[in-house]
A and B are shown apart, each in its own frame.
Chain A
Amino acid sequence: MKKYSVFAIAREAMRGHRGWEQQWTSPEPKAEYDVVIVGAGGHGLGTAYYLAKEHGITNVAVLEKGWLGGGNTGRNTTIIRSNYLYDESAGIYDHALKLWDGLSQDLNYNVMYSARGVMMLAHNVHDVQSLKRHVHANRLNGIDNEWLTPEQAKDYCPPLNISRDARYPVVGASLQRRGGTARHDAVAWGYARGASARGVHIIQNCEVTGIRRGPNGAVTGVETSRGFIGAKKIGVVAAGNTSVVMNMADVRMPLESYPLQALVSEPIKPVVPCVVMSNTVHAYISQSDKGELVIGAGTDQYYSYSQAGALHNLEHTLDAICEMFPVFTRMKMLRSWGGVVDVTPDRSPILAKTPVGGLYVNCGWGTGGFKATPGSAHVFAHTIARDEPHPINAPFTLDRFRTGRLIDEAAAAAVAH
């Protein structure tokens, strides 16, 4: 792998940019791998990268039914934060946040992590109580989060409407300054390039259609649209399709897959300097470096694999955006799209061993797993390599829905992202 640097840019400029190499190779699948990862999203590619880099396991393939990064990784609104309520969540999301801060250097790939701050608005007494509780809980866990008055919030984000006459007036806000955004595609591409350079095979257009198991019940490989591929260990990182893949090994999951939509506006000059979220009116917004407003909606009410949601959800979100930012009422929206998000009953992820030998699962990130990509991939690689969880993901078991040890971020009102 040739290193990217300012010298490389200068050198290539001199010779008409003919020396750039492919960022990753597309080899033919081998007959067998030590580890097969199902799903080339950020979490799957990152897992392969850390397997190679931190555990020296390079006989690895990442199988992807479509194109790399074409799942939720390439469809999300890229909000990054770690201000979750419970200690377990704080552990895993802040592990990720620490890795974001240095990921571009580690990967030698600009993932454009921008710690521009994530502001969460309070509109009523319940919001104030809930957000302040988060601020205190976060601080006890060493995670930055602070309380702002409406005036301080407007100082930080000038286009915000803090009029007392608004239908849902802003009565305060919490701010995590280390939160922000990153470039979603670059995360997938950067991990793919780093993994490929260490010998990992990335195989696109290769759908896993079955999981083969030996006489002792442990996995022996996967059936795919490109034939059987042997595997000593399998890591399923298939987001919205996790139930489908796990069923191939007779494991039934506590998951439901819902459509989740987002949209972007026409590009405009910089106006929204941070990420603004409101759980009560249900909208969140940031501005990309290209100038588009990036807006996220809520999930549809029914489960679906269609990767498309209903228009009335987008309308509802835009109503809320216009309420918070009256200055945007006359803007045009350019594109909208949907992904399929895998939601657990307690809204916390599952990163764990399974009842099947050699089968591991990383799923349940639902509407908010992009922010966790580096941390999730890092501890999941550890889980696969050592056949035991890292202390950080040890609480995120599959059997917590039997033992009752839920990590109930849903009840904690940390809605969405």
Chain B
Amino acid sequence: MLLIRCPYCEEERPEIEFRHAGEAHVARPTDIASISDEEFETFFFIRANTRGTVYERWRHVHGCARFFNAVRDSMSDRFIMTYKAGDPKPKKLPGV
């Protein structure tokens, strides 16, 4: 089981308190009705599915119930950092 640090509660909690919520920084188009089929496919279905450093959303459902973002290594499952929703995608990662 993973230990995940919620950036709002500011503590590490067991994975079962959280719900994974998919790839992070996938922006919903503002005018979704007018985009092309290709753009919709990219937004809705296509995923990076990276083997290595992944940026993903989590939700602390059984805690503060808030969404936040995490950076994790998808080969070792080790968390590199977590940060609040709305914060920009980190350019430099700690210890990397």
Q: Report B-chain residues with C-beta under 8 Å of the C-beta of A254.
A: 41, 45-47
Return the contact of A303 from the options B1, B16, B54 (Cβ within 8 A).
B54
Nearest CB on B from A261, distance (A): 13
Q: Are A257 and B16 in contact (CB under 8 A)?
A: no
Q: Are A403 and B37 in contact (CB under 8 A)?
A: yes
Q: Report A-chain residues with C-beta under 8 Å of the C-beta of B12.
A: none
Known contacts A303-B54, A304-B74, A310-B1, A345 near B19 by CB under 8 Å: no
B9 within 8 A of A: no
Nearest CB on A from B80, distance (A): 14
A401 within 8 A of B: yes
Return the contact of B1 from the options A252, A304, A311 (Cβ within 8 A).
A311
Known contacts A311-B1, A402-B41, A303 near B74 by CB under 8 Å: yes
Report the separation of the CA atoms of residues A10 and B65 in the bound assembly, to the nearest whole angstrom: 68
B89 within 8 A of A: no
Q: Report B-chain residues with C-beta under 8 Å of the C-beta of A244.
A: 49, 51
Q: Are A301 and B45 in contact (CB under 8 A)?
A: no
B75 within 8 A of A: yes
Nearest CB on A from B86, distance (A): 21
A residues 368-405 with Cβ under 8 Å of B? 401-404
Report the separation of the CA atoms of residues A29 and B42 in the bound assembly, to the nearest whole angstrom: 37
Return the contact of A253 from the options B19, B49, B77 (Cβ within 8 A).
B49
A94 within 8 A of B: no
Report the separation of the CA atoms of residues A243 and B48 in the bound assembly, to the nearest whole angstrom: 8
Return the contact of B46 from the options A253, A301, A312 (Cβ within 8 A).
A253
B residues 42-96 with Cβ under 8 Å of A? 42, 44-51, 54, 56, 72, 74-77
B25 within 8 A of A: no
Report the separation of the CA atoms of residues A401 and B38 in the bound assembly, to the nearest whole angstrom: 9
Nearest CB on A from B28, distance (A): 16
Known contacts A252-B46, A256-B49, A305-B51, A310 near B15 by CB under 8 Å: yes
Closest to B36 in A: A402
Instruction: Annotate A302-316 by CB proximity to B: 1 below 8 A, 0 otherwise.
Output: 111110101110000
Q: Are B19 and A301 in contact (CB under 8 A)?
A: yes
Instruction: Annotate A227-251 by CB proximity to B: 1 below 8 A, 0 otherwise.
Output: 0000000000000010110000000
Q: Are A243 and B49 in contact (CB under 8 A)?
A: yes
B2 within 8 A of A: yes
Most chain B beta carbons < 10 A, residue from A244, A255, A306, A402: A402
Report the separation of the CA atoms of residues A244 and B47 in the bound assembly, to the nearest whole angstrom: 11
Q: Report A-chain residues with C-beta under 8 Å of the C-beta of B46.
A: 252-254, 401
Q: Are A304 and B77 in contact (CB under 8 A)?
A: yes
Q: Are B41 and A302 in contact (CB under 8 A)?
A: no
Q: Are B15 and A256 in contact (CB under 8 A)?
A: no
Q: Are A241 and B51 in contact (CB under 8 A)?
A: yes
Nearest CB on B from A359, distance (A): 17
Report the separation of the CA atoms of residues A301 and B58 in the bound assembly, to the nearest whole angstrom: 10
Q: Report A-chain residues with C-beta under 8 Å of the C-beta of B72.
A: 302
Q: Are B74 and A305 in contact (CB under 8 A)?
A: yes
Q: Report A-chain residues with C-beta under 8 Å of the C-beta of B74.
A: 257, 303-306
Q: Are A312 and B16 in contact (CB under 8 A)?
A: yes
Q: Are B1 and A305 in contact (CB under 8 A)?
A: no
Known contacts A244-B51, A310-B1, A302 near B20 by CB under 8 Å: yes
Q: Are A401 and B49 in contact (CB under 8 A)?
A: no
Q: Report B-chain residues with C-beta under 8 Å of the C-beta of A310.
A: 1-2, 15
Nearest CB on B from A408, distance (A): 13
Report the separation of the CA atoms of residues A310 and B20 in the bound assembly, to the nearest whole angstrom: 14
Q: Report A-chain residues with C-beta under 8 Å of the C-beta of B15.
A: 301, 310, 312
Report the separation of the CA atoms of residues A311 and B45 in the bound assembly, to the nearest whole angstrom: 30
Closest to A246 in B: B49
Instruction: Report 13 cross-chain contacts, Cβ distance below 8 Å, ordered by A residue.
Output: A244-B49, A252-B46, A253-B46, A254-B41, A301-B19, A301-B20, A302-B72, A304-B74, A305-B74, A306-B75, A306-B76, A308-B77, A345-B44
Interface contacts beyond A255-B49, A311-B1, A312-B16: sample of 13 additional A-B pairs, CB < 8 Å, sorted by A: A243-B47, A252-B46, A253-B47, A254-B47, A256-B47, A303-B54, A304-B74, A304-B75, A305-B51, A305-B75, A401-B41, A401-B46, A402-B38
10 tightest A-B CB contacts, nearest first: A243-B49, A401-B45, A254-B45, A301-B20, A402-B41, A302-B20, A310-B1, A305-B51, A244-B51, A402-B37
